[in-house]
Structure 1
């Protein structure tokens, strides 16, 4: 019984480590801001350029 609990604990620890790694291992300055003309952005999400 103890071996099953140890295995479950280790699997949970690995899961927490994977989630932590994917959340906090990004770029040091955050994501790069490409502005309004980022490729793949939907046209209706871009602000219109009317004067």
Structure 2
């Protein structure tokens, strides 16, 4: 019975160590800054957003 309790305690300590390691072992200076937002393409034209040009290779 004591052996089972010791094994359960060891498993609990291992679980707590894994959780602690994953939470607090990050980068030293914190998270990286977010990447700059991509520039949006120019809007407009008669085609609209959902329209596609016909493929000249399909004919």
Which ranges in structure 1 are unaligned for 5 or more consecutive residues? Answer: 39-51
Which ranges in structure 2 are unaligned for 5 or more consecutive residues? Answer: 39-59
Which has the larger Rg? 2
Give the TM-score taking structure 1 as reference length: 0.67
Runs of 4+ in 1 over 2 A off after TM superposition: none
| Structure 2: distance between partners of 1:15 and 1:37 | 39
Whichever structure has more helix as a proportion of its residues is 1
| Matched length | 38
Give the TM-score taking structure 2 as reference length: 0.58
Root mean square deviation of aligned Cα: 1.7
